[in-house]
Amino acid sequence: MAGGYAAPPPGNVGELTEAVKQLRKRVAELERPTGTQNAQAVAALQVAQAELQKTVDTLDGVIDLIARTQNTAGRGFSETFALTTTSTTLTSTVFTAPNYPCRVTFTASAIVAVFNNSGAADIAYSTIEYQVSGAATVNSQRAFAALGTSGFATLNTTINGSVVMPASATITFRVLGNSQVGPWSPAPGTNGAEVYYQAVVEPIIP
């Protein structure tokens, strides 16, 4: 080396060294992203972000569903009725849905205790039914009991259901009863009817 000048390597080595430098330079240029590549990367990132947001929204919905799922119950009772040959409502109770669409899965049970004081052998019947706002009534199978000229009868009925309900809709549970032969006049403490329901309310995620 003289005067700060670096002599090139002798022979073909210098040419090879220069070629390697040029290759390194070109590789560096190729590794540097272009404007198009940057735009594509941003677009791919936005798609991934949107998919992630969908997943987060779904998880939020599931968490909200779990948080708002609830158990509820209700009861209706009456003892001021008489049994006649016409089926009539003995007692009832109403479930009201929350202010959002939901699925309600329920079990409703009824018990009717009556005393035959008609003086004639007879048969008592009892049915439980439910009706969602504006929909048709659904009945259970009837329970019945045969009695002599004087005696008590206890009738039990149950019905299960699962219905999709709009916000604030209602389900009315009713207990109906009748006799086959004639009227049974109520006496204080001799007749009683109760309907009881238990329900699980699950919000519906849009």
pLDDT of 80: 78
Tokens 């909200």 sit on residue: 64
Give domain status of residue 165, yes or no: yes
Of 44, 67, 90, the last residue of a domain is 67
Q: Environment class of residue 97 by beta-carbon count within 10 Å: exposed (0-12), middle (13-18) or buried (19+)?
A: buried
Residue type, 54: K
Tokens 């940057």 sit on residue: 38
Check which CATH number belongs to the domain holding 101 and give it: 2.60.120
The structure's pTM equals 0.67
198 vs 31, residue with greater confidence: 198
Give domain status of residue 5, yes or no: no
Is the pLDDT at 150 greater than 60? The verdict is: yes
Cβ contact 165:101 at 8 Å: yes
Give domain status of residue 177, yes or no: yes
- 54 and 81 in a single domain? The answer is no
- 49 and 92 in a single domain? The answer is no
Number of domains in the chain: 2
- 50 and 132 in a single domain? The answer is no
Q: How confident is the model at residue 119 (pLDDT cuts 50, 70, 90)?
A: confident
Cβ contact 154:136 at 8 Å: no
Cβ contact 77:92 at 8 Å: no
- 90 and 110 in a single domain? The answer is yes
pLDDT of 8: 55
Mean pLDDT for the stretch of residues 158-183: 92
pLDDT of 148: 80
Cβ contact 206:100 at 8 Å: no
- 54 and 92 in a single domain? The answer is no
Q: How confident is the model at residue 165 (pLDDT cuts 50, 70, 90)?
A: very high
Within 8 A by CB and 6+ apart from 114, the residues are 83, 124, 152, 153, 155, 177, 184, 190, 191, 192
Q: HSE, CB side, 13 Å, CA atoms: give it for residue 67.
A: 7
Give domain status of residue 52, yes or no: yes
Give domain status of residue 178, yes or no: yes
- 131 and 158 in a single domain? The answer is yes
Give domain status of residue 47, yes or no: yes
**Nearest residue to 168 via CA among 117, 107, 100, 122:** 100
Tokens 């404007």 sit on residue: 35
Of 67, 85, 110, the last residue of a domain is 67
- 173 and 74 in a single domain? The answer is yes
pLDDT of 129: 95
Q: Environment class of residue 197 by beta-carbon count within 10 Å: exposed (0-12), middle (13-18) or buried (19+)?
A: buried
Q: How far apart are CA 175 and CA 91, in angstroms?
A: 6
The residue range of the domain holding 20 is 12-67
Q: HSE, CB side, 13 Å, CA atoms: give it for residue 117.
A: 11
- 103 and 125 in a single domain? The answer is yes
Three-state secondary structure call for residue 157: strand
Of 30, 48, 67, the last residue of a domain is 67
Q: How far apart are CA 23 and CA 143, in angstroms?
A: 94
Q: How confident is the model at residue 99 (pLDDT cuts 50, 70, 90)?
A: confident
- 60 and 125 in a single domain? The answer is no
Give domain status of residue 112, yes or no: yes
- 49 and 85 in a single domain? The answer is no
- 146 and 76 in a single domain? The answer is yes
pLDDT of 65: 59
Give domain status of residue 7, yes or no: no
Cβ contact 175:77 at 8 Å: no
- pLDDT tens for residues 53-94? 776 666 666 566 566 678 889 999 998 788 889 999 999 999
Cα(first)–Cα(last) distance of the chain, in Å?
81
Per-chain mean pLDDT for the chain: 81
- 185 and 128 in a single domain? The answer is yes
